[in-house]
Every structure is written in structure tokens, then in C-alpha cells.
Structure 1
Amino acid sequence: MAVAVILAAGPALGWGHRGHAVIDRTAVESLPADGPVFLRSYLGLIEDSSTLPDDWRDEATPFSKMEEDPNHGWFQEQFAFMHPIPRSRFEFILALDKEQKRLAAAHSPEAERTNVRWTGTLPYALVEVYGHLVNGFRTYRDRQAHHQDTAHIETACAMYVAWMGHYVGDGAQPLHVTIHHDGWQGPNPKDYTRDHTIHGRMESAFVDAIGLSDQDLLSKVPALNPIDGDVFDAVLAYLSTSGASVEKVYQIDKRGAWNEPNDPEARALIYQRTAAGAGMLRDLVYRAWRESALARVPHVPAATDPKNPAYNPETGSAPADRSPALAR
């Protein structure tokens, strides 16, 4: 049963500019030699653009905000009823809507936040931009093969990396994958804080206080994982791993350690989570690069063709296929 969530404000923004920029820089610096190393020439652009998706959530641009807000969270307790997770953003939203109507009919207070905004769509946003990056890399390869200028498509690919990197970075932050994102919700036997400022204390104030940099992370980034399997599955597993550290964030806070830049346990968690984010971003960029070298194989029948056996008339499409296998 999902815990009823009572919050005064929307979730805080992820990591702050320093954290996102460091994750992105470390990821690009960690790319293997046979990856898209041209991205290193665009590190300034990637760092500067690393928090653009947060800007898209501005109240002054309400359509942009409505579309973008859910992309920054994945509050896993809210959809514990859903197995498996649909391979379609729209099927996920429809499943939430059906559950919301069921809860509302039962007069459950949980109905109020069983919706796309208060559940989140982070993995969908991430894999959607991943697809943009694969196509960008394909265009880059094609232009190279035809001896055409690649400067503009290189810039576009760098922007895709920054865009996708934001969601990867948010996913590395444990408070972006739980209903406890802005203070502990529901039963609280361990007396964790319900103060919404815990989010910013951890991911922005503490990160700034320790002066987090790529030099802190380069030796801590996990070994390259080429992601030879399905990308969506890999992203879901990554988010679940991040969620395992939620209580650790609150335990550290209970000691007041997010206000102590020299606290070793607090530093260790920040290093571990940001290094995990940098490693995942590097792995996804490398996987996209390798996938872009594969020949395009048309889907017959097409995903939007009602003759497709997986076609869903509620969404007008079949869900996404599993990622293509990569040559070893």
C-alpha cells in the first residue's frame, strides 16, 4: 500500500549546478578511447547546460513546467501495484489513472497523489533522450562517412548528453526516487526529519561546501559497463540501487552531518552517488555510440500499426521493443 504523501511544495531541484556539472564532466572524461571522444571538446557546453531541464520547470512557462516536472522523479512507493513497469510512458500514465480512479472510488486519501506528477516519469524521460542521442550519433557517423562537416551535429549530441545527463544525475540522488524526497512521509518510528529542506541541505549546500569536483570522482567511478542488455531495464535497476540509500540520507541528517562538510560518512555518500551517476552516464553514452553503428532494421508491422500484435488502442502504439543486441 502506498503511503499517503502530504507535501507543502514540489520536490526540490536535483543536485544544484555544481553536482550536475561535475557528474557530466566526469562521465565524458571517463569515456573509453573507442567512444565518442569528440564530446570532450564540448565539456564547457555540457557543463553549462547540465541544469537546463530544471529551468524548464519555471512557473513562468506553465506548459513547459507541466511537461517537465514529472521527469525529475521516480517515487517508487507510489506504483508498487504496477508489475511489470510498462515500456511506454503513456501506458504507465494510463495505469496510474486507472489506479487513481479506483482509490478515489474507495475514498482513499492516496488518490490525491496517485498521478503522473506525484509519481514521476524519470526513466521514460531518460530513455527518450537516449534515443535522441543514438540518432544524433548516427547522423554524425553518416556525415563523417560522406566527408561532410560535423560541427553542428556534434553540438546537438553534446546537448543531448547534457539533457540525458540531468536525468541520470537526478536518478543518482536517493531523494529523487522516493516519496520521502522532501522530508519523511507517513509513519515515522525512527523520528526522521519531516523538514523539506533536507533535500537542498544534502544535494546543494553540502555539495557546494565540499567543493565537489571531477578530481574527487575520477578514481571512484565504477568500471565501464557496456550495457549489452536492455537499456530500460538497466535504467530501472540503476534507480532501484539509488533508492536503497534513502534511509542513509536521513540517518546522516539525524546526526546533523549535512551541515558538517568534513563529516566522512556524508562525504562518502555524496562521492558514491555522484560517481555512480557519472558511471551510468558514461555507460549510456558509450552504449548509444555503439548502438548508432548498427544498421537500422525496420519494425514490421510498425509500432503504430494496429496489425502489430502488441498494439495498444488506448495509446495508439505498441510498447517499446527491447534494446538491440550489440556485437562484442
Structure 2
Amino acid sequence: MRPFVLAALTAAVFPAALHPNVALAWGGTAHAVIDRAAIEAIPDDGPVFLRKQVDYIAGSASLPDGWRGDSEPFSKIEEDPNHGWFKEQFAFLKPIPRSRYAFVIALYKHYEAIKDKDPLTAQRTNVRWTGTLPYAAMESYERLIACMRQVRALRAEGKETAFAEQHCAFQVIRLGHYIGDGAQPLHDSVNSDGWRGDNPKGYTRDRTIHGRFESEFVDGMALTTGDIAPRIGAAGHREGDMFDAVLAYLDEAASHMEQVYVLEKRDRFANFKDKDVRELVYARTAKGAAMLRDMICRAWAESAVKPAPLKPSPLDPANPAYDPETGSAPAQVGA
């Protein structure tokens, strides 16, 4: 086989193969397990058409990691922050803005305020080292609603829905990746790649902890969908503000960050039979699958509601919430 053909096929199956600097979040195994478990847990009154797409969705679960290669700098700049939420970096920011751009502007203003008196903190007070995961998740979630609305409209007109269903599946791939990342505690802390700052408990500063936990251990323990399916439970998040639910989900995941470091001190995740580490993996991936399933089902329910035009428009300076720095009003609560 010609080398360039082999390389192309390899990249299609393993997106990071041509991007050696990309660290695969959760590894391909856990992402695929989370996505498949979520789709299989969709109840019969949900978007069951996605069951036909489950192999495509699970097989493409790591696709967004392939958009982060150094060789595609524009894509990398936009995509890298979408995979993390290093909450310690923006503890000063309350409440969290309901606009990606308002969040970025707030970070820059804080950077300007502290760059001289606290240059070390300022060095990481930027969008790359804070992350934009909840915004990426909500953007994919709302695109999924729009796709599902199209499925409903085509059904009502008696038209073919195959392409619209594929569009929905692609948005599930994106949403599933970000939600899967968020379930991994090291994606929700500045300690994502080794302990930072004061270290009285002697946790590792080795940057490989991230990959050793989420990839090497998960592959070594041979995680399967069957391991977590019984843990997912009934569908939730049927009401309430979804952005707030995503933030709470990330906060809960972050609360397990130190547990990862405590368990790493035993044997650097080398014992694939370690019951405590296995339990942590089961619990976190099940949480990810449950949240993804809930967001998919909530999107389906939202797609049944005919959207009312907002007046005045979010882009209209007459809108009371209009932000001249971003050129738009932020997302409404419950929108």
C-alpha cells in the first residue's frame, strides 16, 4: 500500500496518529464506551433514531482530539480550550458569564489587572489555561436541538430524514466528547498534568499522570459498556437551566481530582486490578454517559417546542442585556 494511503487510513482510525503532540482525552476506549452507553440508555420516548448511528458515534468519539494538532494552528487555537475547565484559574469570576466571548474578555481584564503584581498567575490567565469546555458543550447541545428540530419537521412533511439524523449524530459526537472530557477530574483542574503549586502531600508532578490514568489504566482494565450500563440510571435533567447543570456537573467531577492523585501514589496506576482505581473509572465514565444521555433526551424534548423569536434581538443594542463588548446579549437563563 502506498505510504500516503496508509497514513490517511491510519489517521482516519486513530486521529492522533498524525498529531503526536495531541494528548487524547480519556483515551479512545473510555470516550467510545461513554458514547455507546449513553445511546443505549436512551429511553423509548427519546430520540431512538440515534440507535442506528451508535457505531458511527462510538467509533468517532475521539474525533475532536484530531482537531488539536500543531500542524493545524487555527483549528488548534480554537479547539484546545474546549477540552478543559481549570476552575481554579477563574475563581475570581462569579457568576460565570453566559457568553463564551464575555468569559474571554473577563479573563483578559483580570490578566491586565494582575500582570505586574502577580506575573506567574497572569501567565496562565488566558483562554488556553482556563478552558472553555461548558461553552463548547452548550454550543454542541444547541446545534443538536436544531438538528433534531429538522428531523421532526421532515417527518411531519413525510420526507426522508436520513441526512438530518446523520447531522444529529455528528453533534452527538462533539457533545459526547466534551461531556466525556468533563467527567475526567483532571480535565477540571489546573492540576491536569501533574500537581502545581504547594505540595505538602507529595503528589506527583509528572505530566504523564493524565495519560497513565485515562488511557493506559483504562485500556489495561479493559473497560466495556457493560461495566457502566447498570450505573447510569433513569434519565434526568428534564427541567432547569442546562448551562447551570453543565457547570454543576463539572464542579462535581472536579471534586474527585485529588482522589486521582491519592490513588496514583500507590503504584502509578500500574496495577490494572486495583479495585479503587477501577471503581473511580467506572463511576466517572458512568457519570459522563448519564449526563450525555440526559442532554440528548433534553435536546429532543426541546426540539419539539417551536422557538419564539426574541424581541428585541440579542444583537439589538436596545436589548436590556446587550453587551457592547461582545456585540450580543448573553444566553438567557432557561433558553
Aligned with residue 220 of structure 2, among 188, 209, 215: 209
1:41-56 → structure 2 map (5 Å cutoff): 41-56=52-67
How far does residue 226 in structure 1 lie from its aligned partner after superposition?
A: 3.3
Aligned with residue 268 of structure 1, among 272, 275, 279: 279
Contact 1:173 1:242 in 2 (8 A): yes
Aligned with residue 251 of structure 1, among 262, 265, 269: 262
Aligned with residue 246 of structure 2, among 221, 229, 235: 235
1:28 is matched with: 39
Name the CA distance, whole Å, in 1 between partners of 2:209 and 2:239.
Answer: 37
How far does residue 105 in structure 1 lie from its aligned partner after superposition?
A: 3.1
1:309-320 → structure 2 map (5 Å cutoff): 309-320=320-331
Cα deviation, 1:91-126, whole Å, max 9, x if unaligned, reads 000000000011113253211110001100000000
Cα deviation, 1:158-203, whole Å, max 9, x if unaligned, reads 1110110000000000000000000000000000000001000100
Name the CA distance, whole Å, in 1 between partners of 2:59 and 2:138.
Answer: 22
2:92 is matched with: 81
2:14 is matched with: none
SS at match of 1:218: helix
Name the CA distance, whole Å, in 1 between partners of 2:128 and 2:273.
Answer: 36
Aligned with residue 161 of structure 2, among 127, 130, 150: 150
2:211 is matched with: 200
One-letter amino acid of the structure 2 residue matched with residue 320 of structure 1: A
1:287 is matched with: 298
1:6 is matched with: none
How far does residue 44 in structure 1 lie from its aligned partner after superposition?
A: 1.1
Name the CA distance, whole Å, in 1 between partners of 2:142 and 2:31.
Answer: 21
How far does residue 227 in structure 1 lie from its aligned partner after superposition?
A: 3.3
Which one is further off, 106-115 or 59-68? 106-115
Cα deviation, 1:19-60, whole Å, max 9, x if unaligned, reads 100000000000111000110111111012111110000111
Indicate yes or no: 2:25 matched with 1:14.
Answer: yes
Which one is further off, 253-262 or 122-131? 253-262
1:130 is matched with: 141
CA RMSD in angstroms comes to 1.3
Aligned with residue 103 of structure 2, among 56, 70, 92: 92
Name the CA distance, whole Å, in 2 between partners of 1:197 and 1:104.
Answer: 30
One-letter amino acid of the structure 2 residue matched with residue 68 of structure 1: E
SS at match of 1:299: coil
Name the CA distance, whole Å, in 2 between partners of 1:49 and 1:132.
Answer: 18
Contact 1:257 1:263 in 2 (8 A): no
Contact 1:222 1:276 in 2 (8 A): no
SS at match of 2:115: helix
Name the CA distance, whole Å, in 1 between partners of 2:188 and 2:237.
Answer: 24
Using the size of structure 2 for normalisation, the TM-score is 0.92
1:299-314 → structure 2 map (5 Å cutoff): 299-314=310-325
Aligned with residue 168 of structure 1, among 168, 179, 192: 179
SS at match of 1:305: coil
Name the CA distance, whole Å, in 2 between partners of 1:48 and 1:223.
Answer: 25
Cα gap change, 1:11/1:102 in structure 2, threshold over 3 Å: closer, same or farther? farther
Name the CA distance, whole Å, in 2 between partners of 1:82 and 1:120.
Answer: 14
One-letter amino acid of the structure 2 residue matched with residue 184 of structure 1: W
Aligned with residue 101 of structure 1, among 112, 115, 138: 112
Which runs of 5 or more structure 1 residues have no equivalent in the other structure?
A: 1-9
How far does residue 149 in structure 1 lie from its aligned partner after superposition?
A: 0.3
Structure 1 vs Structure 2: percent identity of aligned residues? 53
Name the CA distance, whole Å, in 2 between partners of 1:107 and 1:289.
Answer: 47
Name the CA distance, whole Å, in 2 between partners of 1:159 and 1:108.
Answer: 41
1:64 is matched with: 75
How far does residue 256 in structure 1 lie from its aligned partner after superposition?
A: 1.2
Contact 2:22 2:65 in 1 (8 A): no
2:194 is matched with: 183
Which one is further off, 218-227 or 146-155? 218-227
Name the CA distance, whole Å, in 2 between partners of 1:277 and 1:136.
Answer: 22
